[in-house]
Amino acid sequence: MTRSSEDSAREAQPPLATGDTGREGEFPQQAPRLGNQYRDDRVLRGFLDRALPREVHSAIDGDLDALGAHAAAAWVAARARTPEVPVLTQWSAWGERIDRIESTRTWERGAAYSARYGLVAAGHDATHGAHARVDQFARVYLHHVASEFYTCPLAMSDGAATALKAAANHALLDRALPRLLSRDPATLWLSGQWMTETAGGSDVGRTESVARRDADGRWRLHGRKWFTSAIVGEMALTLARPEGAEDGAAALAMFYVEARDAAGRWNGIRIDRLKDKLGTRELPTSEIHLDGALAEPVGELAHGVRLIAPMLNVTRMWNAVCALATMRRCLALAFDYAQRRRAFGRPLIGHPLHRATLAGLQAEFEAAFELVFFVAQLLGRVETDGATAREKALLRVLTPLAKLWTGKLAVRIASEACEAFGGVGYIEDTGMPLLLRDAQVYPIWEGTTNVLALDVLRALDVNGIDDLVAAADALLGEAGADASLREAGADLHSVRAALDAAREWQLAHAAHRDALEAGARGLALTLARAFAAALLARHAAWAVRERGDRVPLAALSLFVGHGLTRLATASMDWTAVLASAQRSAGEP
Ligand SMILES: Cc1cc2nc3c(=O)[nH]c(=O)nc-3n(C[C@H](O)[C@H](O)[C@H](O)COP(=O)(O)OP(=O)(O)OC[C@H]3O[C@@H](n4cnc5c(N)ncnc54)[C@H](O)[C@@H]3O)c2cc1C
């Protein structure tokens, strides 16, 4: 740790309580403490040491160190103040419709941090070639919790930059790309992704917004967007049905919209209200009406879902990285607290069951980390044209797998972390309930678990399961070739067995669409876990060989010990019986 980051992390800490035995009548407990979240993160640092060339790692080390120090300081600062939420003012005192949103103080500093550390720009920067995405997502992972979900509009901005590049609309690229990728807060733009409507969320084909040409031949959008999290942004990509086009998803077109005109007035947009949400409360998620918003088609006047897909792949990656960040924060706090809090005569960490509980969660996190950052590596290779067709197919299936698994895991780890604090884990100003509430968003937005499990089936329909299994096998071969891993008794056999079971399950159900869909979650979770185990095995072999470090091997053993398969075959008959037995209100 450099002096500066060490000092700032230390200064950010509250003084230690005087002890936890306490005098009679008192109940003093020590708050958990966070050090520099980069320097202290063995998992991130180990991955970067293995995956990045030394010169790339050295080049970004200073920024990661600063982000790690800020993460610790921001956690303490946030606990010391009353939580803030954005406020919408719809009318001025004089009856003028203004729809002004006042952001929280953390959000007001969001552009400065994002630009300074290139949270979007780094992913598109050619300096580190195919490593750009690993560089970027390491930054995002360190900054996410401190950003208080400013990462949500950043994810959509990154997605918009990626979708505009893929659509190769040069006029829009010239206008928007330098702003989306700006490293100057004064010129940085945020983009929204306005897809969800009241009728069509997952089922986007039911989108009701319409695009009509005005008297001057320009496109104007009319409709209602039901969840728009980046309404404070300067632009958005959205879907609408050109007037007269057929029903269904294929007839939707993707449009580019700027939120305000040159004079700073809203571009035919009304903000109906801000959502009152379970978590992510700093994020101004709004319901809006489009009343003739001027818009430009990004590509052809159809197949908008295909055009917006590159955006979704990127925002799903951000979702997975942010889910990892929440897990890491929960575990850092829970492990620290377990050393401070005593029960039954010793620190919590000294109790075999508490230790096993936390270590088991850490093992799950380490496997998930390997999967998510492997997908970041793949994305970087694909975007810099360094990838084979097989790697492109692998990216297609691993992106929804990483998103869906980490979304669920973050909720589980956040819930366990609250419990690991006992009663105070339920108390607001410890910050733990906030982590749990926020975590619940990861499995919902950017595609729910079920929707993504079905997306995995579609990817397997196109590319088959064999390439995925072969890629995992290659990783296991690499790991198994290492004598130290074999000698340590790493259970690679169970990983292979889980992959084989997934393949057999998929083949056995391929002809029965309902049964295949009903078991899609189990298949997806099995594939995610088995692939992650293969990656963790490769990393563990490297750590033992290069560093004499057996800690990743411990994570591998515990993770595999939890079982990798989650396959389940639901009886179609019994699920129908049980579901139809649940009466709806109002039924006779
Ligand atoms: C805080 C927050 C911010 C958001 N911000 C944005 C934003 O900025 N832009 C935006 O466009 N959207 C945004 N969303 C919306 C979000 O992406 C959608 O709510 C989400 O994709 C789910 O869509 P839905 O609400 O229509 O749910 P539904 O599609 O109605 O799903 C309901 C349930 O049915 C299940 N389901 C649906 N179809 C199937 C199927 N075929 N098989 C099995 N199960 C199925 C789902 O898994 C889910 O459990 C936001 C949501 C939240 C919570």
CA distance 569 to 305: 32
Secondary element (H or E) of residue 325? helix 304-340
Which numbered atom of ligand 1 lies nearest the CA of 279?
1
Q: How many angstroms separate the Cα of 474 from the Cα of each of 39, 374, 477?
A: 32, 14, 5
Q: In the prediction, which pLDDT does 6 show? A: 44
* Torsion sign across C-alpha atoms 299, 302, 306, 309: positive
Q: What angle do CA 171, 173, 174 make, to 5 degrees?
A: 65
Residue 531 CB partners (closer than 8 Å, separation 6+) = 371, 398, 401, 468, 471, 472
Ligand 1: which of 196, 204, 318, 319 to mutate, most ligand atoms within 8 Å of CB? 196
Q: CA geometry: angle at 534 spanning 528 and 540, to 5°?
A: 130
Pocket lining: 227 vs ligand 1, CB cutoff 6 Å? yes
Quote the ligand 1 centre to 200 CA distance (angstroms): 9
pLDDT of amino acid 490: 83
pLDDT, position 586: 67
- Residue pair 331/358 in contact (Cβ under 8 Å)? The answer is yes
CA of 559 to the centre of ligand 1 (A): 30
Output the tens digit of pLDDT for each of the chain's 588 residues.
344 444 444 444 443 333 444 455 566 678 999 999 999 999 999 999 999 999 999 999 999 999 999 999 999 999 999 999 999 999 999 999 999 999 999 999 999 999 999 999 999 999 999 999 999 999 999 999 999 999 999 999 999 999 999 999 999 999 999 999 999 999 999 999 999 999 978 899 999 999 999 999 999 999 999 999 989 999 999 999 999 999 999 999 999 999 999 999 999 999 999 999 999 999 999 999 999 999 999 999 999 999 999 999 999 999 999 999 999 999 999 999 999 999 999 999 999 999 999 999 999 999 999 999 999 999 999 999 889 999 999 999 999 999 999 999 999 999 999 999 999 999 999 999 999 999 999 999 999 999 999 999 999 988 889 999 999 999 999 998 888 787 777 889 999 999 999 999 999 999 999 999 999 999 999 999 999 999 999 999 999 999 999 999 999 999 999 999 999 887 888 888 888 898 777 665
Ligand 1 pocket: which of 203, 204, 445, 446 to mutate (most atoms within 8 A of CB) = 445
Burial grade of 397 (CB within 10 A; 0-12, 13-18, 19 or more) = buried
DSSP character for 266? B
Query: Would you mind telling me the total number of residues written for the chain in this entry?
Result: 588
In whole angstroms, give the CA distance from residue 492 to residue 499: 11
Residue 283 CA: nearest ligand 1 atom is: 1
Q: Give start and end residues of each alpha helix (H) in 384-491.
A: 389-420, 432-439, 449-463, 466-480, 483-487
What tokens does 403 get? Answer: 């998103």
Asked if residue 285 has its Cβ within 6 Å of ligand 1, the reply is yes
Q: Which residues contact 56 (CB under 8 A, 6 or more apart)?
A: 128, 131, 135
The residue type of 71 is A
pLDDT computed for residue 4 by the predictor: 46
DSSP string, 171-202: HHHHHHHHHHT-SSTTT---EEEE---SS-SS
SS3 state at 244: coil
Residue nearest to atom 40 of ligand 1 (CA): 451
Q: Which atom of ligand 1 is nearest to the CA of 450?
A: 47
Distance of CA 133 to the CA centre of its chain: 14
| Pairing relationship of beta strands 342-343 and 269-274 according to DSSP bridges | unpaired
85, 149, 202, 282: which to mutate for ligand 1, most atoms within 8 A of CB?
A: 202
Residue 451 Cα to ligand 1 midpoint, Å, equals: 9
Distance CA(10)–CA(12), nearest Å, equals 5
Which residues, at least 6 apart from 567, have a Cβ–Cβ distance to it below 8 Å? 501, 502, 505, 519, 522, 523, 526
Report how far ligand 1's centroid is from the alpha carbon of 442 (Å).
11
d(CA 17, CA 32): 11
Query: For strand 253-258 and strand 235-242, is the pairing parallel, antiparallel, or unpaired?
Result: antiparallel
Distance 196 CA to ligand 1 centre (A): 7
Contacts of 127 (CB under 8 A, 6+ apart): 59
Three-state secondary structure along 348-377? Answer: HHHCHHHHHHHHHHHHHHHHHHHHHHHHHH
Residue 290 forms beta bridges with which residues? 223, 269
Answer yes or no: is the C-beta of 315 below 6 A from any ligand 1 atom.
no
What's the rounded Cα separation, in Å, for the pair 432 and 426? 7
First-residue to last-residue Cα distance in the chain: 68
| Residue among 148, 559, 543 nearest 367 (CA) | 559
